[in-house]
Structure 1
Amino acid sequence: MARRALILVEGHRSIGLLYVKAAQRLGLHLITLSADPAQYDYLAAERLESIRVDTDDLDALIRECARLRATYDIAGITGFSGLDESIYATVGKLCRHFDLPGPNPASIEQCCDKFTQRQLLAAAGVPMPAYRLAADAMEVESSATEISLPVVVKPAVGSGSCGVRLCRNVDELAEHTAYLLAGEPRWRSPRILIEEFAQGPQYSADTMGNEVIAVGATDFDCPPHFVVRGSIFPAPLTDYDHKRIADVSLSCLRALDLAWGPANIEFRWTERGPVVIEVNPRLPGWTTPRLIQLAYGIDPIAEHLKLVIGEEWDLRRRHSHTAAARFLAPEGDGVLDWIEGDSLAVAIPGVAEVKLYVEPKTQIVRKGDFRDTMGHVIAASPSHAETEAILQRAVDLIGWSITPFPTLGEQKQSAALQPSRTGEGGAR
């Protein structure tokens, strides 16, 4: 009898291993298809099967999956986005081709285009910030004038707050527009979204199918960028406000035809109540799946995999705790001299996890997005106040030192002090 296997298209540095462990508990053999399997450390560490294939080439993926079906019973196919959420549409197309459970690829594609997403949500009457689409610097400026500064400027396609900035005046607007139009390759596109800055606390709803399974609160820091500082589940909301977020979340799922699988919806609570900042057609990475499990007793990764392989899921809450995460953010760029205290922090009762992403001698170069964190601490307890206290005690035990990069003047001075080698060995 052929061995049941799960195919993962690409991997994920923060939650990839959690998917591996959950799949193994379900008795599945893991096979990762990736353009570069070496970038995922856990594949080698866990001795997992991986195959190098161009994951941007749907035909190549279909051929590889067909080849694997000759050896394995392919129970399901899923994948991860990294910085390119189009991979979920590719997964949907593979599932359709092989008649396996999966998301609607057309729904994923229209959701991943932030402007199209906005249009669909607006047509459904979902509360949102004002928005415009621009193709060049002149259109960006006129759109910002119509909406009124400050505005949030971002690529029309992307994730992880990459390329997202709050522009508070015309100089910042011009600078960030130029950066997006001439910056990283994935942003060299004449499609820039300009949005009203919705001011207020940030919340998120995590859904599975047509059910809201968790509502959390998130803190951001490092303006004018949006770098996550921490998150907590459940969000400290009244039952009425929780229901308002849940109701808007379900309206988003209907408007975007996202009735299958996980989704993550980001909100700001403004004078108008909850307004939708973004809908992501996926389970979020980093600490969120772990926080949901600690807070509610629901393992969203395991339940997602059950859906992927066609088994019955169970989204019932087992308990009601408060779980929170705090991210460690550097205060400046430079070389990390040392970072320590993690072993002391993890020993505190109530601390569920301490993870450092960097090692000494790492160059720290902040980018203004999710990549600017150096680690995280997770704590959980029966109460909000106790969880926050545990988390703070743990974070206070972790310290680090960063030596700033030398300034241009310091570099010139250092070069001037270097002994000259001119004429060494005599004239020739």
Structure 2
Amino acid sequence: MASKALILIEGHRSIGPLYVRAAQRRGLHPITMSTDPTQYGYLAAEGIDAVQVDTNDIDAVKSAYSRLKLTHAVAGLTGFSGPDESIYVTVGKLCRHFGLPGPDPTCIEQCHDKFVQRQLLAQAGVPIPDYRVATNAMEVDSAAAEIGLPVVIKPVVGSGSSGVRMCRTVGEVANHTRHLLGGRHIWQSSPRILVEEFAQGQYITANMIGGRVVGIGTGEFGPLPHFVYREYSFPAPLSADENARIADASLSCLRALGLGWGPANIEFRWTKRGPIVIEVNPRLAGTPDPELVQLAYGIDLVDEHIKLVIGEECDLRARHSRTASARFLVPDRDGMLEGIEGVSRAAAVPGVAEVKMYVHPNTPIVRKGDYRDLIGHVIAASPSRDQTAALLQQAVNLVNWTITPFQT
């Protein structure tokens, strides 16, 4: 009997291959629908079936799905947000239309809009930063003055810290507003800017599935004013009371936003007021969160999500307790990446789970101040936090690269 198909809407550079492999381990046949399947190198590399269709045209996707059903038994359908968060809204609409298990598209759409999300969280009494929405430079200036500097300025719709900047002065507010509205930022919808209080404190992330907290981690960023990830660790070094407060706030977010089904990840800052919700994402976090959760707790978030997608029960019991950490590799200058050394030596360090480079030699490096600045990561795990930190540093020290400045 032919294996059942798992339909994946679009792909994802980091977690796309994890879904493909998890589906295959379950005996499912992954098929990717994408506007441009060639942008996901793993599809061709792993011989994964792909259907080219404009995934921004929901009627076209419905037609492509209906054609697939003529030749395949479909077990379920899901997809990836990536830089374009609207894809997951499409996933919800498709699941609703075809009677498949999936997220509520209305709730996903509300979450997708950071201004609407904050309104709903505020109405439910969830602690969030002070915020305003603006559509022009005058409104941005006024919002920043009302909230008080420093502020964080970001697009209302987007992901990966694209267009997000902390502004300390009136001049920085004006400069970043010009950047966002002056044609250099690519808007997914009509330009709207979120201006919010800069919540200072430890960054914490809660990974959830089906209304349950699976793992609580912590992260660090590179230097302000940008928010470029540098390191992630699970579990976060929190007391039992602090863990309980994060879990309670996470569940309050899900209730406020109607996100009881499927995966979610919630970002916090632990401030003087306690945990403040920065953002709720109605999807799995990208790499390295799924890998870290599996190393730390023995829970495969991707596999558990696929179980929900095909109508099976999740099993979110922890199998073990370890500390898992990831360090992102980030260049400190622009230029041509000439060479990368030491990857295999770093990967051979006992306790190192993965060393992965996202780019190859002879790649131009132009830093953007967001997720696109990352050129790789190293993941390590051990029974203790200190041991994991030492392993990670040992491995990172072995990876070197050369960047030659651009000729002017």
Sort the TM-score into its range (normalised by shorter chain).
Answer: over 0.9
Tell me the residue number matched to 1:23.
23
* Corresponding position: 1:307 with 2:308: yes
- TM-score normalised by the chain length of structure 2: 0.98
- In angstroms, what is the RMSD of aligned CA positions? 1.0
Tell me the residue number matched to 1:263.
264
Q: Secondary structure at the match of 2:82?
A: coil
Tell me the residue number matched to 2:45.
45
Tell me the residue number matched to 2:219.
218
Distance in 2 between residues matched to 1:302 and 1:243, nearest whole Å: 26
Tell me the residue number matched to 1:55.
55
Give, in angstroms, the shift of residue 189 of structure 1: 3.1
Instruction: Look up the equivalent residue of 2:144 and give its one-letter code.
Output: A
Instruction: Look up the equivalent residue of 1:356 and give its one-letter code.
Output: M
Query: Structure 1 residues 105-114 or 174-183, which shifts more?
Result: 174-183
Q: Secondary structure at the match of 1:229?
A: strand
Distance in 1 between residues matched to 2:173 and 2:42, nearest whole Å: 41
Show the 5 A alignment for 1:118-267.
Answer: 118-182=118-182, 183-186=184-187, 189-267=190-268
Give, in angstroms, the shift of residue 351 of structure 1: 0.3
Distance in 2 between residues matched to 1:44 and 1:227, nearest whole Å: 30
Q: Secondary structure at the match of 1:286?
A: coil
The C-alpha deviation readout for 1:198-227, integer Å capped at 9, x for no partner, is 001100001001100000000001311100
Do the aligned partners of 2:86 and 2:112 also contact (CA within 8 Å) in 1?
yes
Instruction: Look up the equivalent residue of 2:364 and give its one-letter code.
Output: Q
Distance in 1 between residues matched to 2:190 and 2:403, nearest whole Å: 35
Distance in 2 between residues matched to 1:311 and 1:17, nearest whole Å: 21
The C-alpha deviation readout for 1:279-312, integer Å capped at 9, x for no partner, is 0000011211000000000000000000000011
Instruction: Look up the equivalent residue of 1:25 and give its one-letter code.
Output: R
Give, in angstroms, the shift of residue 404 of structure 1: 1.6
Give, in angstroms, the shift of residue 2 of structure 1: 5.5
Instruction: Look up the equivalent residue of 1:355 and give its one-letter code.
Output: K
The C-alpha deviation readout for 1:42-72, integer Å capped at 9, x for no partner, is 1111111101000000000100111111111
Distance in 1 between residues matched to 2:3 and 2:151, nearest whole Å: 53
Identical-residue share of aligned pairs (%)? 65
Show the 5 A alignment for 1:217-366.
Answer: 217-366=218-367
Q: Secondary structure at the match of 1:102?
A: coil
Distance in 2 between residues matched to 1:186 and 1:69, nearest whole Å: 35
Q: Secondary structure at the match of 2:394?
A: helix
Distance in 2 between residues matched to 1:67 and 1:358, nearest whole Å: 36
Q: Secondary structure at the match of 2:21?
A: helix
Tell me the residue number matched to 1:426.
none
Give the paired residue count.
407
- TM-score normalised by the chain length of structure 1: 0.94
Question: Which has the higher Rg, Structure 1 or Structure 2?
Answer: 1
Give, in angstroms, the shift of residue 185 of structure 1: 3.0
Do the aligned partners of 2:84 and 2:188 also contact (CA within 8 Å) in 1?
no
Distance in 2 between residues matched to 1:190 and 1:10, nearest whole Å: 25
In the alignment, structure 1 segments of 5+ residues that lack a partner are 412-428
Instruction: Look up the equivalent residue of 1:163 and give its one-letter code.
Output: G
In the alignment, structure 2 segments of 5+ residues that lack a partner are none
Do the aligned partners of 1:202 and 1:267 also contact (CA within 8 Å) in 2?
yes
Give, in angstroms, the shift of residue 190 of structure 1: 3.3
Distance in 2 between residues matched to 1:138 and 1:405, nearest whole Å: 37
Q: Secondary structure at the match of 1:359?
A: coil
Q: Secondary structure at the match of 2:187?
A: helix
Q: Secondary structure at the match of 1:84?
A: coil
Give, in angstroms, the shift of residue 338 of structure 1: 1.5
Give, in angstroms, the shift of residue 371 of structure 1: 1.0
Do the aligned partners of 1:2 and 1:71 also contact (CA within 8 Å) in 2?
no
Do the aligned partners of 2:137 and 2:177 also contact (CA within 8 Å) in 1?
yes
